Structure 1
Amino acid sequence: MSRSTDTATLRVTLLGTGTSTGVPVIGCSCRVCRSSDPRDRRTRCACYIEANGLGILIDTGPDFRQQALREGIRRLDAVLYTHHHFDHVAGIDDLRPFFFENSRPIPCYAPPNTARVLYRMFSYIFADGTYPGVPRLHLHAVEGPFEITSRYGDAARLRVEPIEVLHGQLPMYGYRIGHFAYLTDASQLPESSYERLQDLDVLVLDALRERPHPTHFSIDEAIQVARRIGARQTYFIHMTHDVLHAEVDARLPEGINLAYDGLQFTCRLTTS
């Protein structure tokens, strides 16, 4: 996937919309895991953004390889990490093919606590780097807005704003680009983050299941957060096999829907 987009818009592809086990769950025969609706087949959460000619990935979960093949992703200028849990980072080594035709390093941006864990988890990439063929990744701990530039030699640039969220007791990031925001694995938003999420075209938000959970928004909690933020459209992600797409989506308020793997949409990148 390497399509040109209007300089005033960004294109988003939700690569995966499932929780840490994925759906169907191994060994499970519940009605969701047996569903023939393709929207009930959920790989682990990740997101690909095309804007200003750049290709940006949010998280590299264990399903990233099949997601990239499915969507035909060909360009990658940067990776944004939300946090260091396995289902969001385990596919990092599958970034290697992006160096076959372009040897320039890929910058990876993460919250400081996540950057420290990634450095330890993948020391053969970030600390050692002597093994031939490892992906050439440059890890950056960020604490405020930053700018992504092209690794393909053109003049493309893009501003990214980290949004602080809590995943249980774990501080982590969502990200805002233009009038789009992506908030996975969230159970609480600081007041300051609400202030930075105004005037969104699309909000992508964690909504694990209908029953409460200590580290994720339930669907009812996510509805309340979505209403407070007031995006023109909200899509829920990170759903478990407790959520049958057709039934739950039909009950959601106007302007709020369940996402599904491969969902694509566009948002304004600028106000002009």
Structure 2
Amino acid sequence: MPTTISFWGTGDSMGVPRIYCSCDVCEEARTSGVNRRRRSLVHLQDESFGTVLIDCGPDWREQMEQAGLRFIDRILITHAHFDHIAGLAEWADACRWLGRKGTAFAMPDVIGEITNRFPWLCRQIDFIPIQGPFQLGDWTVDCWRVNHGKNGYAYAFKFTNIVDQHAWAYCSDSIALTEEQREPLYGLDLLVLGTSFYEEPFPFETRSVYDVKEALELLQELQPGRTLFTHISHDIDRRRDYALPQQVGFAYGGLQVQV
């Protein structure tokens, strides 16, 4: 059976609208809301493993409310930046009130960063270190480090179905991927890739995520069947036609796809 991927958030670290900004995209996001973006997070539903989230950012409570959910059991964490873990405290509080424990899967160094900052989370959340490929229902999950530019590094997840070998990957925060880091991304059925700007104007050494033009060049090499861009800033206006290839698009809150 396929996995249903629901995009609960597709924004960059500041979200859209940015509180200080009055650009056309932010103003539209405040009114009709086409460009409103909560911080990046996806919800996975599959008969073989149930429900899992990737990341738990500062909009987690609002995202849970919108989805009509009162609890989530398991979360995969890409890295320990604020926009990807700030909701863990609220998740832990929900665990405490409900008398349940959550399970978070992350690389050992990511767990170390989180628990050093928030040691009390361990009372309510079991942090499971990823030591290599692991099984999630009918899927084998691989996790590997990717360059995150000026922000250091993050991790990507690749899901490969053990029955039919369909594969997809979630790589929300990366730039200047090395050949080794790109290798798991070739020939995917679906790639979810972070792209903040259409053409980012800032010096390359100050940046942390691909822009759309760079990502399109990368896709010519990787050749995924479909690509959805996430981690999108207020530079991208969904009302505009960017003339993207047919198999490439911008993810948005509420979008659901199956793999």
In structure 2, C-alpha distance between the alignment counterparts of 1:37 and 1:234, rounded to whole Å: 26
Q: Does 1:208 align with 2:208?
A: no
Which string of whole-angstrom CA distances, capped at 9 and with x for unpartnered residues, describes residues 108-132 of structure 1? Answer: 1112321111011111112xx3xxx
Query: CA offset at residue 53 of structure 1?
Result: 4.2
Contact 1:111–1:172 (Cα < 8 Å) also in 2: no
Tell me the equivalent position of 1:239.
Answer: 232
Query: CA offset at residue 198 of structure 1?
Result: 3.3
Query: CA offset at residue 184 of structure 1?
Result: 0.7
In structure 1, C-alpha distance between the alignment counterparts of 2:224 and 2:130, rounded to whole Å: 26
Query: CA offset at residue 264 of structure 1?
Result: 0.6
- Residues 12-23 of structure 1 correspond to what in structure 2 (within 5 A)? 12-23=5-16
User: Normalised by the size of structure 2, how large is the TM-score?
Assistant: 0.86
Query: CA offset at residue 38 of structure 1?
Result: 2.9
Which string of whole-angstrom CA distances, capped at 9 and with x for unpartnered residues, describes residues 159-190 of structure 1? Answer: 32113311015232111123221111111323
Query: CA offset at residue 137 of structure 1?
Result: 0.9
Contact 1:77–1:106 (Cα < 8 Å) also in 2: yes
- Residues 50-89 of structure 1 correspond to what in structure 2 (within 5 A)? 50-51=45-46, 52-73=48-69, 76-89=72-85
Tell me the equivalent position of 2:141.
Answer: 160
Q: Describe the shift of the 1:143–1:72 C-alpha distance in structure 2 as closer, same or farther (beyond 3 A).
A: same
Sequence identity (%): 31
Tell me the equivalent position of 1:30.
Answer: 23
- Residues 99-118 of structure 1 correspond to what in structure 2 (within 5 A)? 103=100, 105-118=101-114
- Give the RMSD, CA atoms, in angstroms: 2.1
User: Normalised by the size of structure 1, how large is the TM-score?
Assistant: 0.82
In structure 1, C-alpha distance between the alignment counterparts of 2:57 and 2:181, rounded to whole Å: 25
- Residues 130-209 of structure 1 correspond to what in structure 2 (within 5 A)? 136-148=124-136, 158-168=139-149, 170-178=152-160, 179-209=167-197
Q: Which runs of 5+ in 1 are unaligned?
A: 1-7, 130-135, 149-155, 268-272
In structure 1, C-alpha distance between the alignment counterparts of 2:186 and 2:95, rounded to whole Å: 35
SS at match of 1:196: helix
In structure 2, C-alpha distance between the alignment counterparts of 1:245 and 1:188, rounded to whole Å: 26
Q: Describe the shift of the 1:101–1:239 C-alpha distance in structure 2 as closer, same or farther (beyond 3 A).
A: same
Number of residue pairs the alignment of both structures matches? 243
Which string of whole-angstrom CA distances, capped at 9 and with x for unpartnered residues, describes residues 184-204 of structure 1? Answer: 111132323332223422211
Q: Which runs of 5+ in 2 are unaligned?
A: 161-166
Contact 2:227–2:249 (Cα < 8 Å) also in 1: yes
In structure 1, C-alpha distance between the alignment counterparts of 2:74 and 2:138, rounded to whole Å: 11
Q: Which amino acid is 1:160 matched to?
A: V
Tell me the equivalent position of 2:163.
Answer: none
SS at match of 1:176: strand
Q: Does 1:11 align with 2:8?
A: no
